[in-house]
Amino acid sequence: MIHSGPAITVQMLDDGIAEFKFDLQNESVNKFNRVTLDDLDAAVQAVKAHPEIRGLLVTSGKNFFIVGADITEFGGVFSHGRDYIQDWTMDIHRIFNAFEDLDIPKVVAINGFALGGGFEMCLANDYRVMSDKAQVGLPELTLGLIPGFGGIIRLARVIGVAKAIEWISSTRPRKAADALADGAVDEVAEHDKLRDTALAALKRAIAGEIDWQAKRALKLQAVEVPGGAADSYFEGVRAELAKTTNPEQYPASKAFLDVIEKSADMARDQAVAVEAEHFAGVAVTPQADALIGLFLADQVIKRAAKKNAAAAREVKKAAVLGAGIMGGGIAYQAATKGTAVIMKDIGQAQLDLGMNEAEKQLARQLQRGRISEDKKNATLKLIEPSLSYDGFNAVDIVIEAVTENIKVKEIVLKEAENALREDAILASNTSTISITELAKGLQRPANFVGMHFFNPVPVMPLVEVIRGEQSSDEAIATAVALALSMGKSPIVVQDCPGFLVNRVLFPYFGAFDRLIKDGACLIKIDQVMEDFGWPMGPAYLSDVIGLDTCVHASKVLADGFPDRMKTDYTGATEALFKTDRLGQKNGKGFYKYVADDSGRKRKTADDEVKDILAPHVDAAAPGSVDFTAEEIRDRLMLAMCNEVARCIDEKIVASPEEADMALIMGLGFPRFRGGALRYIDQIGLKEYVALCDRYAHLGKAYEAPQILREMAAKGERFFN
């Protein structure tokens, strides 16, 4: 044994070949934590001390190669500041460079995912052989970071600047065929023949049949910029990338380009120093803090879902009541994941509509090459349209998805319960109505829960699983397990008006209505909030949701929380709704919607809106008061963030991570801000409370909840 450490072993094989195996002890995957990095350093020194080694076969003892850096260690490193991070990164470069500079051929066998630092290690090898089941890539931009272990420098030199930019900016892992076509790997092997293929390549390299020195030399020298004119080339690339990614919101998207441009004419050792400098620069940004926090929060909700699903009953067959947009979407999503589902409605036309929508969705997947014709047909067969409750005695769970009206839901839920086995679970896809209230008319309230899906169901990842006062652990667990089986991210919340997501959304809409009342311009409000990072401003979002839906939900919330959500005036949303403006669904709301040449409806300003709103505005006219962007942002965000804090205080949701992830997945809260509670953290609790005090005269929605005052006094944060 040449080396035996906690993460790496180096063992002689035959013919002067040593196997350099990554196999991190006490972990299910290989990752670059401090232990692995220190062991890599030691293993390289051990190889240097054994001149009889003629070549290295680099392998993994896990199912994956290396999944990347250990993100849980970033907080401890990044908290020391920019200079410390740069020195830390340069030390890693020293280790990777020493590995790359070993004067023997090194062939890596990529047996599974090699992402981030894992792929950067592959690039430090001289020859790469990839399993046909593996994937490689550099996803660091999703964390607000750039590749920091030499990935930018080496990839640009291996596959060229243009392809490297596409790989890094897209963050998308590449399958073997694509990686080979782009030149990121040298060979692809059948998975069960990977080791033999890599070993054979290493023997060819030792024999001089593969010019591994030339491959290494390529990574040590300057890189050619397409077209030769670096300034104009990178200016064009930046302009193109800015169309999809705002560099002010995601600074890493600019930083990695700066690294390529500034280091293009440098040798490796100079170039990696540029990479380290820029890595440290983005690592200390609030965007990196937020995006890394979201990655860790995603792990929290996955663990919570697994725990919450522990007591689940097996669901062999499900049913959905209602074949509308929501019901049809739920049935389609369940079927695509292999669950047989009855889709019931009261009219054949509705059932036909639901089945046609499912077929349209599957046809789209087929056209994009994501499913086969057989898969399409098999999925459709799993959806059984029905006008009756026949077969419901064989169903394990039913999801009611009829109109958002408590009387209608009560009738439908009672009918369904009578058709079910006594142990079957009944769920309501209500977005606002109390689960505890709906349970009052049921014979088996312990078997009743809420399952709030978001529209469009195939796209939106969040499902709120709502626990009523009498909901059993088994019912909650079964609902969570079903959502997981459908490919969704379930978060368990306690019952209250609006649950979590709608409860915190409607104070935001209320603040918007109040701004309009005070004379703000709705178009400016939308622009300010889109600049803040929302995919659409509150006026446009209201139109997309539907003004009728917004008015209904706001009344439910106002009844539930009258001290801060009930108003003594008619808001802009209700005023427009009363004139039969419903939003996108009938072509007129805060905006009007006109089809373009492609048939897609585009929003444009509508002068009639000012006339409708004029009687409901305290100022001289709608839009006549020029609020600053800061005032607009603060008034909207304070109302929302305060309500999220109240939900934490009341334990409506179990953790800050779950609260923020619910807003990201359910509302499109700006990812680079990390969620409402992280936004409060980044402002600072004391500063945030002072901001609330500045606007407290507007009403209780703007007053800092007691939990925030107490946290500010103690110097606490939601995330440490």
Provide the CA 354 distance to its chain's centre, in angstroms.
Answer: 28
| Spatial separation of the C-alpha atoms in residues 572 and 515, rounded to whole Å | 10
Residue (of 486, 407, 356) closest to 343 by Cα position: 356
Strands 340-344 and 397-400, bridge-based pairing = unpaired
Question: What tokens were used for 337?
Answer: 């994941």
Q: Write the CB contacts of 325 (distance below 8 Å, at least 6 apart in sequence).
A: 357, 455, 456
The owner of tokens 């692809």 is 188
Q: Write the CB contacts of 38 (distance below 8 Å, at least 6 apart in sequence).
A: none
First to last CA, the chain: 42
Q: Write the CB contacts of 519 (distance below 8 Å, at least 6 apart in sequence).
A: 617, 618, 619, 620, 621, 622, 623, 624, 625
**Residue pair 165/171 in contact by the 8 Å Cβ criterion:** no
**Residue pair 438/406 in contact by the 8 Å Cβ criterion:** yes
Residue (of 292, 276, 278, 288) closest to 95 by Cα position: 276
**Residue pair 260/164 in contact by the 8 Å Cβ criterion:** yes
**Residue pair 371/399 in contact by the 8 Å Cβ criterion:** no
Query: Residue 129 in 3-state DSSP?
Result: strand
Question: What tokens were used for 102?
Answer: 């070993």
Q: Is 552 a catalytic residue?
A: no
Query: Residue 664 in 3-state DSSP?
Result: helix
| Spatial separation of the C-alpha atoms in residues 202 and 222, rounded to whole Å | 27
Query: Which residue out of 452, 552, 616, 697 is catalytically annotated?
Result: 452
Residue (of 499, 485, 457) closest to 326 by Cα position: 457
| Spatial separation of the C-alpha atoms in residues 462 and 163, rounded to whole Å | 34
Question: What tokens were used for 262?
Answer: 């500034």
Buried b (16+ CB within 10 A) or exposed e, 131-151: bebbbbbbbbbbbbbbbbbbb
Q: Write the CB contacts of 241 (distance below 8 Å, at least 6 apart in sequence).
A: 169, 247, 253, 257
Give, for 108, the enclosing helix (H) or strand (E). strand 106-110
Q: Residues with catalytic annotation?
A: 452
